Structure 1
Amino acid sequence: MQENIPESYLPTEGPQLIHALPETHYLQEINVATELVDRHVSAGRGDNVAIRFEDDEITYADLQEQVNRLGNGLLEHGVEPGDRVVVRFTNRPEAIVACLAAQKIGAVALPSMKLLRAAELVHIINNAEASTVVVYDDLLEEIDLALPKTDSVENVIVVERNGVEHDHTDYDELTSAADDELEAYQTERDDIALMLYTSGTTGEPKGTVHTHRQLLATADSYARYCLNPTEDDVFGGNPPLPFAYGYGDLVTFPLRFGATTSLVENATPGDLLQAVEDHGISILCSIPTAYNQILEKYPDAPEEYDTSSLRMAVSAGEPLTHSTFNAFYDSYGVEIYDGIGTTEMLHIFVSHQEGQEIDPGATGYPVPGYECKVIDPDTGEELPRGEAGMLAVRGPTGITYWNRPEKQQSATVDGWSLPGDIYIHRDDGRLEYKSRKDDLIISSGYNIPGPEVEAVLQEREEVSEVAVVGVPDDERGQVVKAFIIVADGYEGSDELTESLQNHVKNTLAPYKYPRRVEYVKQLPRTETGKIQRVKLREREQ
C-alpha cells in the first residue's frame, strides 16, 4: 500500500466504479509501468520502437532502462511510495520516462502544463504537497520563481538540454550513475498512479486522482474497443501530455498495446503533417481547432505530405462539427472519431467504434464498459429519450477530486459521475452533445446550447473560428453573442454579420441566432486548446 497520502484528501464516498469488461478484472497487485513497458520486454518485444522523437527511436528495452535508472535515482533522493512527483515538460521522451519511473516506485506522477506561471505552480504544488519536481530546463524559470512559496518540495531534478544554468540535481548525471535494474514497487490496483489538474476553463484548477487500474482500464475499454490498436500502430498528435486526453493517446494507449508513440515538441499543424510523414502516424489525435487549421492553412497538404499511413483520426476537447468531419474525410480519406472525456474521468467514455457507421451529428455510444444516462439536473431522474438533460456516467473510471469534499459531493449522484455536459439520448442509442452546463444560454425562457450555434456558423467558409456565449440583456435576460475570427481573405462587416445571422435563422430555430456578433483576432484558450468561454462571459459582464 502507498504511504504519504492523507486519507482525508480522498472522498469517503466517491463514484461507484463498475468493471463490466473481463479485460478490466486486474490482479490485486499491479503496476502500470510494468504493464506498459516491462511486460513487452519480457515477451520478447524489447526491440520494438516505443517512442519516436525527431530523428530518434527509443525501443521498449531502451525505455525500460531509462525508467529503471531514473526510478533508482528518485529512490536515492528519498522519494517514497505515494509521494507526488511534478513532471514539467513539453512533449518530450523524458516526460514519459519521468512519469513511468515515479509510478514504478509507487509514487504518483503529476504532469504539469508547460505554460503555467509561478503563481499557478505554487497553488498546484502546495495543494498536492509534492515532494519532487522533474523539469525540462527550458521550463525551469517559473519553477525557480515558485519554489520560495512552496512548502513541500525537497528535490528538483533538471533535464539540461538548452544550457540553462541552475544549482539543482542534473538529470543526466543522476541517471547515468544509477542502476539499470529496478524491481517495481508492489502497488495495488487501487493505489494512485496519476494526478492531473483541470485546465481551469471554469475557475481554479482542481486536482483529480487516477489509480493504476483506471489508467489501464482506459486502454482496455476505449482504446481496445473503439480504436482496435495493434503493435504496428503509431499514435501521434499535439495534445500536451499533462492533458488527460494527451496522456492516454500518447502514453497509455500506445504502450499498452506494444505500439509506438510519436512525440512532437510544441507541434503546429504543419509539424503534425510532417510527423505523419516522418513517423508513419496511423492514429492521429488532436482537437477540432487543429483539424480546422490543417484544412485551412494547408489545403494542398494531401499532395505535399505522405499521409498514406493514416487509418483514423480522433478528436476531443471541443465539439466536432459536421463541416470539419466531412472536409477532413474528403481531403484525407479517414474518418474522425469524436469523443467526450474529461480530466476527471481520465479519458473518452462516449464515442463511435471503428467499423460503426459514424453519425457526425452525435458523439456516439457509451464506450464498452461504461453506462450513460441523461437525467433531470434538479431531480436526478432519468429523462425520456430525446429530452436534453445532464449526462451521468458510470464505468471503470469516475470523478475523484483531491481534497475537494464540496466539489466531490456535487460531482456524483448515487455513484454516477456528472461531467457537467448537456446531452440528448437519442432513440437510436447515440448520445448527442448540446453544450457544457455553463454554456447553456437562457434567452427569453428559451434554452440555447452555444456549441449548436457555433457548429452552424462554422459551416460558412468566411468563419475560421467561433465562440458563442450568452451576454446580459435587459429585455431578454441574455442574448446570443458570437465572437468570430474570419478566414483568410475575408473581413468582418455589417453585410457579413447579416448573412451569418440569416444562415443560423434558416438552419436552426430562429430564436437561436446570434443577435450580436463581434469580429476578433483571437479567442482565449487554455493550453490544451479549449476555448475559455468563461473569460468571454466575464468580459461581457
Structure 2
Amino acid sequence: MQSSIPSEYLPDEADGPDYVHAVPEVHYPRQINVAEELVDRHVREGQGNNVAVYFEDQTISYAELQEAINRMGNTLLDLGVEPGDRVVVRFPNRPEAVVSCLAAQKIGAVALPSMKLLRAAELEHIINNAEATTVVVYDDLLEEVENALPNLETVEDVVVADRNGIDHNHHDYDELLDDASADLDAYETERDDLALMLYTSGTTGEPKGAIHTHQNLLASADTYARYCLEPTEEDVFGGNPPLPFAYGYGDLVTFPLRFGASTSLVEDATPGDLLAAIDSHGISVLCSIPTAFNQILSKYPDGPEEYDVSSLRVGASAGEPLTPTTFESFKDEYGIDLLDGIGTTEMLHIFISHRHDEEIDPSATGFPVPGYECKIVDPETGEECDRGEAGLLAVRGPTGIEYWNRPEKQANAVRDNWSYPGDIFVQREDGRFEYKSRNDDLIISSGYNIPGPEVEAVIEEHDSVGEVAVVGSPDEERGAIVKAFVVAADGVSPEDNLIEEIQNHVKDTLAPYKYPREVEFVHELPRTETGKIRRIELRKREEEKKA
C-alpha cells in the first residue's frame, strides 16, 4: 500500500472481506493502474479518435481525454501531490471531474469525489477525516470549500475551474493545465493500492469513508457491466446519478471507459435534460434511480414522440427499489427493460441484478452478479436461512466493505470475511433474491416484521399516488405502527376517502397487518443528493411528535 497512507487507517486482514475472484476477467496482474486501463490502453490500441465523453455540444476523444489527464496529473505532481495522497474533486457531472479523478489515480494518488450539495461543516468532517492534501473544485461550488478552509487541517492547495466568473485567490485550473506537460507515464501502482474514496451519503448517521482499490474499480466493470449489460464500443452510457455516488461513478466513468464506449455527461440533469441527451448523444444505456424514471414518465407523457429515443437498448436502476409498476410503465413507453440492482457505496456497485437478455421478474432484484455469491442469514444466530425465509444479506466477491479509519464500523460490517451491506432479503425457490428492506427500515409492529419498501411498492400502484415513503411510527400498544407519507399525483387533491382507498388497497394486496394505520399527505419527501429517501428523517420526526 502507498506509503502516505497510515496502516492503522486500513482494516487488517482479519476484519476485512474475503475477496473472491470467481470469473476469469477479475484476475489482474499485480501491477495495474486503473487510469491507464480506462484510457491509455484504448489510445495505444488505435481507438484514440473514438468519442470518450459527450458534454453539451462537445465531444472529447480518447486521445484528447488522455492529454487532459496527463496535464492534470503533471499539475498535481507539480503541486507536490504524492502517491497515496487524497485529492478531493468537487464538481457536478462535468468532464473536469472525470479528468481530475483519473489524473489523481494515474499518479498513484486517491481520488475523493465530493457531493456538490455538501455544506462547509460536512466538507470539514470528510476532508479532515480523509486527511486530503488538495481540493480541485468547480468555481460555482467554491464557497463552501472557502467557508471550511480555516478548519481544514491538511489541505495545502485549492485548484479552481473558472467557468462562472467567480472571484478567488486560488490556483487556476486552466492555466495550470496549459502550462503542464502532456506526457505522463502512469505510476506503477499495485492492484491493491487505493484508487478511490467515497463517503456514504449519511442516511443513517455520520458519513463513513469507503475505500476502493485499482482492482476493485476494474472488477465492478468486469462483473456487473460485462455480464449484465454487455457493453460494446458502440454504447453510450448516460444518466443523472452524481459522479461522487458510487453508482454514478461506475455508470458514467468506469463502465463506459472500460469497454471503449462513450459517456454522456449532463450537468445537473432534469428529466427533460436526460431526454434531450438521449436524443442528441445517442444514449443506449440509461442509468438512473426510480424517482427519475417516474418523473420522466409523469412529466413527459409524450417523451418518446417528442425526442428520438431509438438509441436506447437497456436501463439500469439503483439507489431505491424499482417497483414492478415503474418497470412495466417504462417498458411500455420506452421499449426497454430497466434492470433493478442492489449495490452500496461500500461494495462499489451492483452485486445482485438480472442480465439484460434473460427473463426478468420485476418483483425480484435478481440473481447474484457473476463473480459474486450471496446468502441470507439469521441476524441473531448467523446461520444460513432456508429459501423463502427473510434474513440479512451477506455477500462476497471481488469487491467488499472496507472503511477508512472506522474499526468499530468495520467489525459490524464484515463477519467471517463476508460483507453485510445491511439489507433484508429473501432468496426464493428459483434462486432470485427479493429485496425486503434496509435492516433499519424493518417495522416491528405487534411482533410482526413488516418491510417498509414492500408496503411502498403496493401503495405506489394506486393511480392517485405520486411518491410514497413508509416508516414505523411509535405506538404504545403495538410498539410501532406502519405510517405512509404520500405525495399525491399531479392534479390529485388529497381527501379522507383517498386515505381509506390506499389502506384498503394494501389490505387487499398484502397481509392485513401490513396496512398503513396512518397516512399523511406531504408536498415532498426528504431526499439525499443521490435521490434516496431519508427515512431516518421521517422516523425522527415521528419520534419527536410522539415523545
TM-score by length of 2: 0.99
Q: 1:383 pairs with 379, 382, 385, which one?
A: 385
Equivalence for 1:158: 160
Equivalence for 1:476: 478
Equivalence for 1:265: 267
Q: Do structure 1's residue 10 and structure 2's residue 10 form an aligned pair?
A: yes
Q: Do structure 1's residue 399 and structure 2's residue 408 form an aligned pair?
A: no
Residue 379 (structure 1) shift:
1.1
Amino acid across the alignment from 1:5: I
Identity between Structure 1 and Structure 2 (%): 72
Q: Do structure 1's residue 91 and structure 2's residue 93 form an aligned pair?
A: yes
1:210–1:346 Cα contact (<8 Å) kept: yes
Equivalence for 1:77: 79
Distance 1:317 1:425 in 2: 20
1:471–1:479 Cα contact (<8 Å) kept: yes
Residue 314 (structure 1) shift:
0.5
Distance 1:487 1:20 in 2: 46
2:225–2:231 Cα contact (<8 Å) kept: yes
2:113–2:244 Cα contact (<8 Å) kept: yes
Per-residue Cα deviation, 1:414-447 (whole angstroms, up to 9, x for no partner):
1100000000011101000000001000000000
Distance 1:114 1:142 in 2: 10
Equivalence for 1:416: 418
Residue 133 (structure 1) shift:
0.2
Residue 346 (structure 1) shift:
0.1
2:128–2:153 Cα contact (<8 Å) kept: yes
Q: Do structure 1's residue 255 and structure 2's residue 257 form an aligned pair?
A: yes
Equivalence for 1:121: 123
1:196–1:244 Cα contact (<8 Å) kept: yes
Equivalence for 1:442: 444
Amino acid across the alignment from 2:123: L
Residue 489 (structure 1) shift:
1.1
The residue matched to 2:458 in structure 1 has which SS? Answer: helix
Equivalence for 2:40: 38
Distance 2:416 2:472 in 1: 32
Alignment of 1:342-361 (within 5 A): 342-361=344-363
The residue matched to 1:499 in structure 2 has which SS? Answer: helix
Distance 1:424 1:123 in 2: 37
Residue 491 (structure 1) shift:
1.1
Residue 2 (structure 1) shift:
1.5
Equivalence for 2:499: 497
Per-residue Cα deviation, 1:452-491 (whole angstroms, up to 9, x for no partner):
0000000011000000000001111100000000011101
Residue 533 (structure 1) shift:
0.0
The residue matched to 1:274 in structure 2 has which SS? Answer: helix
Alignment of 1:220-259 (within 5 A): 220-259=222-261
Distance 1:217 1:472 in 2: 43
Distance 1:92 1:199 in 2: 20
Distance 2:245 2:35 in 1: 19
Equivalence for 1:528: 530
Distance 1:407 1:267 in 2: 34
The residue matched to 1:517 in structure 2 has which SS? Answer: strand
Equivalence for 1:136: 138
Distance 1:483 1:489 in 2: 18
Equivalence for 1:203: 205
Alignment of 1:264-413 (within 5 A): 264-413=266-415
The residue matched to 1:447 in structure 2 has which SS? Answer: strand
Q: Could you list the runs of 5+ residues in structure 2 that have no partner in the other structure?
A: none
Amino acid across the alignment from 1:305: Y
1:230–1:257 Cα contact (<8 Å) kept: yes
The residue matched to 2:223 in structure 1 has which SS? Answer: helix
The residue matched to 2:405 in structure 1 has which SS? Answer: coil
The residue matched to 1:428 in structure 2 has which SS? Answer: coil
Q: 2:50 pairs with 30, 48, 51, which one?
A: 48
Distance 1:355 1:178 in 2: 46
The residue matched to 2:185 in structure 1 has which SS? Answer: coil
Amino acid across the alignment from 1:147: L
Distance 2:495 2:418 in 1: 47
The residue matched to 2:409 in structure 1 has which SS? Answer: helix
Amino acid across the alignment from 2:5: I
Residue 342 (structure 1) shift:
0.1
Amino acid across the alignment from 1:23: E
Distance 2:510 2:522 in 1: 24
1:99–1:109 Cα contact (<8 Å) kept: yes
Equivalence for 1:185: 187
Distance 2:381 2:154 in 1: 43
Q: Runs of 4+ in structure 1 displaced over 2 angstroms?
A: none
1:380–1:413 Cα contact (<8 Å) kept: no
Q: 2:68 pairs with 58, 66, 69, which one?
A: 66
Q: How many equivalent pairs are there?
A: 541
TM-score by length of 1: 1.00
The residue matched to 2:232 in structure 1 has which SS? Answer: coil
Q: 2:455 pairs with 445, 448, 453, which one?
A: 453
Distance 2:434 2:206 in 1: 28
Per-residue Cα deviation, 1:334-362 (whole angstroms, up to 9, x for no partner):
01000000000000000001211000010
Q: Do structure 1's residue 20 and structure 2's residue 52 form an aligned pair?
A: no
Residue 492 (structure 1) shift:
1.0
The residue matched to 2:345 in structure 1 has which SS? Answer: coil
1:90–1:266 Cα contact (<8 Å) kept: yes
Residue 540 (structure 1) shift:
0.5
Distance 2:148 2:196 in 1: 22
Aligned-pair Cα RMSD in Å:
0.5
Residue 204 (structure 1) shift:
0.6
The residue matched to 1:41 in structure 2 has which SS? Answer: helix
Residue 232 (structure 1) shift:
0.2
